[in-house]
Amino acid sequence: MNMKKFTLVLACMFGMAMAASAQYAGHKFFDNWSIGLEGGTSTNLHDWDTPKGGVVGINLTKGITPVLSLEFQLQAGINDDANWNWWRGSSNVIDNATVMGNTKINLMNLFCGYKGAPRTFEMQARGGIGFMRVFFPSDGWDGGTDTGNDLNRGVFKFGLDFDFNLGQDKEWTISLRPAVILKMTRDNDPAAVVTGYRRTICDHRPDCLGYGHNAIAQITAGVTYHFKTSNGTHHFTEVKPEEVTKVVEKIVEKPVEKVVEKVVEKVVNKGIGNLTIEFAQNKATLTNTAKAKLNTIEKGTTVVLDGYASPEGNKTYNQKLSLRRCDAVKAYLQERGVNVADVNAHGAAGPESQRIVYVTIK
């Protein structure tokens, strides 16, 4: 596959990722960040018998959607036998440093859908561009005639991440990351420094100007920690319904809630005995408005509580959230001398479920 075709395929995958991610809800800027460390080895892509060099790195990643992520990567190459520095053996501990900006596409979520939490095993495609600085020996070579000039170059990187998500909340990821790093332009001068070949092998040979001599294969293993988000988990949990439905819900949500509240209050005044206590998104704290409603229930009254959550988030989290809301109402009523006979936490009871606790007066 030539570079033009590969770029076209990458662009198509990016477009598919954006289209698929349209069904997922937004999040705050400081949500869905992760940091990782990795280490491994690299070798010349063309001459597999050349000496291998070590590589270490650190990655900072921002999840945009469950499908699409952006990664900032800093890597350092450790090489003992000229694989990066042409025919000269480097006396430097760090032979090169690379700064990359990568786009990552979660292939499992793209093609199989996101279920509200990461899978135990996932595969991601990764590609990006960056800047590499190759460090030459500063102590000279060939009788001290070299003064140690460094080299800068642009590079392109693509590869796959094989991820294993671990921990109770999938907060840790262990990964195996094969990749290829390719210099963006070929060297036309046989005496120039070319990524990944040695003069003793390739001196003045035309094939040394090919892309195989301007690239390395790299494989690293790493561990990543996903920071906790504002939704209380370490990953995306808010999933959008279909776009048309979501737009309608955003338009009518507040007016509908106000109408329902007024109707319920009128019913309570007629003696049927239901109250609707509302909560903010992802919260289980009573507002002043909610407390004012609960204050209308007389001491000694017996009530039953039914708690719900809105459909965003996974089933387990919504169940716990609805229970926390019931507990908050129960504690407040018991302090006022109201008897709570039963508590029922229902989680999200359907696509139109609201963030409420129903108080039924027996």
Q: Chunked in runs of 10, what are the mean pLDDT values of the chain (362 residues)? A: 53 50 57 94 70 85 92 85 47 82 94 87 95 67 46 87 93 95 61 39 46 73 93 72 45 42 39 77 91 91 93 89 94 93 90 90 85
Residue 179 covered by a domain: yes
What is the separation, in whole angstroms, between the first and last Cα of the chain?
73
Strand partners, 68: 105
C-alpha span between 321 and 318 (Å, rounded)? 5
**Per-residue confidence (pLDDT) for residue 51, from 0 to 100:** 55
Residue 50 covered by a domain: yes
Q: Are 72 and 89 in contact (CB under 8 A)?
A: no
Q: In terms of domains, do 190 and 82 share one?
A: yes
Closest-CA residue to 201 (of 52, 95, 51, 55): 51
Give the pTM.
0.55
Q: In terms of domains, do 13 and 38 share one?
A: yes
Structural domain of residue 247, as residue ranges? 243-361
Q: In terms of domains, do 69 and 28 share one?
A: yes
**Per-residue confidence (pLDDT) for residue 246, from 0 to 100:** 47
Residue 231 covered by a domain: no
Element containing residue 179 per DSSP (H, E): strand 172-183
Closest-CA residue to 59 (of 83, 87, 36, 89): 36
Residue 110 covered by a domain: yes
C-alpha span between 8 and 294 (Å, rounded)? 61
Q: In terms of domains, do 198 and 252 share one?
A: no
**CATH number of the domain where residue 86 is located:** 2.40.160.20
Q: How many domains does the chain have?
A: 2
Of 194, 226, 258, the residue that ends a domain is 226
Handedness of CA 218, 181, 16, 63 (dihedral sign): positive
Report how far apart, in Å, the C-alpha atoms of 303 and of each of 289, 324, 332, 342, 354 are: 19, 17, 13, 7, 20
Q: In terms of domains, do 213 and 320 share one?
A: no
Element containing residue 59 per DSSP (H, E): strand 53-63
Helix (DSSP H) and strand (DSSP E) numbers for the chain: 6, 12
Q: In terms of domains, do 316 and 216 share one?
A: no
Residue 233 covered by a domain: no
Q: In terms of domains, do 23 and 104 share one?
A: yes
Place of tokens 């598919």: 16
Residue 278 covered by a domain: yes
Q: In terms of domains, do 144 and 13 share one?
A: yes
**Per-residue confidence (pLDDT) for residue 133, from 0 to 100:** 83
Residue 337 backbone zone (phi > 0: left; psi -120 to 50: alpha; other: beta): left
**Per-residue confidence (pLDDT) for residue 149, from 0 to 100:** 52
**Per-residue confidence (pLDDT) for residue 168, from 0 to 100:** 85
Residue 234 covered by a domain: no
Residue 301 covered by a domain: yes
